[in-house]
Amino acid sequence: MAKTATRGRRKAPARGKSKARSSGGGLLPWAVIGIAAIGGIVAHDHWKSIQPMLARQSPPITRDTAEPRPVVRKDAPPKQVALAAPTPKVAVPKPLPLATIPTPMIQPIKAVPSPAPAAVSETGTVAFGYCGQGAHINCVGDGGVFWYKGEKIVIADMASPVVDQARCDGERRVAFAAKSRLLALLNAGPFTMNAAGKADPSGAPRVVARNGRSFGAQLINEGLARKPGAAGNAWCA
């Protein structure tokens, strides 16, 4: 009985201590809350000055720490990636600057005179007579005019008197002599006729020759004709 009472007495102080401890433990959270509230008020009032300090001290969060790296297994086979064939590059020619582009020189076209048509040469081989009242085919009209195959030919490099237009007996005699001489020259053999101008109603001008010697030059040398444009009163002196 005595031990039981002693144990009961010893337990009494333990209860007092537990009360003291429980009372002290209850005040600590309130003290922490008060200190935190005071710190929050002070931080709010001095937030502008505290913010730069926090920014300096806070380390940046890197990608390595934020995102975990995938774990690569050593025994895993490497992935096969299909490589696309490279696209061949087509060389695009660069445009040449205007200064390097050769410009062809445009030369003025010179007027080239057209060559004169070659003289048409014709060979006569027919027999001639004096022209009469009928059709004039192959005949002699006067000392400087004759018809060849129906075309009137005028000897271009001479001028002789005409029988019907003679102004004196001397000019008439020369006209008859020139007409007779021309008939003889035409019937002496083949001759050539070269055009000496355009034909007109008065006849087709021709240079008549044989072996390169003009009939007109022969009649002039024989005194039966004159050069074109010379005075015509020489036979009536």
3-state class of 166 per DSSP? Answer: coil
Domain for residue 155, yes or no? yes
The per-residue pLDDT for 112 is: 60
Domain for residue 111, yes or no? no
Domain for residue 7, yes or no? no
| Best CA proximity match to 233, nearest among 159, 164, 154 | 159
Supply the range of the domain harboring residue 134: 121-222
Domain count, the chain: 1
What are the tens digits of pLDDT across the range 98-141?
555 556 666 666 666 555 445 567 888 899 999 988 889 999 99
The per-residue pLDDT for 114 is: 57
Domain for residue 154, yes or no? yes
The per-residue pLDDT for 108 is: 64
- The pTM assigned to this predicted structure is 0.50
Domain for residue 173, yes or no? yes
The per-residue pLDDT for 15 is: 53
One DSSP character per residue, 108-128 reads PPPPPPPPPPPPPEEEE----
CA 92 to CA 83: how far, in whole Å? 26
Domain for residue 129, yes or no? yes
CA 202 to CA 168: how far, in whole Å? 24
140 HSE (CA, 13 A, CB side): 24
CA 209 to CA 4: how far, in whole Å? 190
Determine how β-strand 139-142 pairs with β-strand 145-148. Answer: antiparallel
Domain for residue 170, yes or no? yes
Q: Please list the rounded mean pLDDT of every run of 10 residues in the chain (237 residues).
A: 46 49 63 79 70 61 53 58 61 63 63 56 90 92 94 94 88 94 96 90 92 94 89 68
The per-residue pLDDT for 76 is: 54
CA 202 to CA 87: how far, in whole Å? 90
Identify the burial level of 18 via C-beta atoms within 10 angstroms of its C-beta, where 0-12 means exposed, 13-18 middle and 19 or more buried.
exposed
Residue 160's CATH number: 2.40.50
The per-residue pLDDT for 151 is: 94
Contacts of residue 123, Cβ cutoff 8 Å, sequence gap at least 6: 190, 191, 192, 193
Domain for residue 168, yes or no? yes
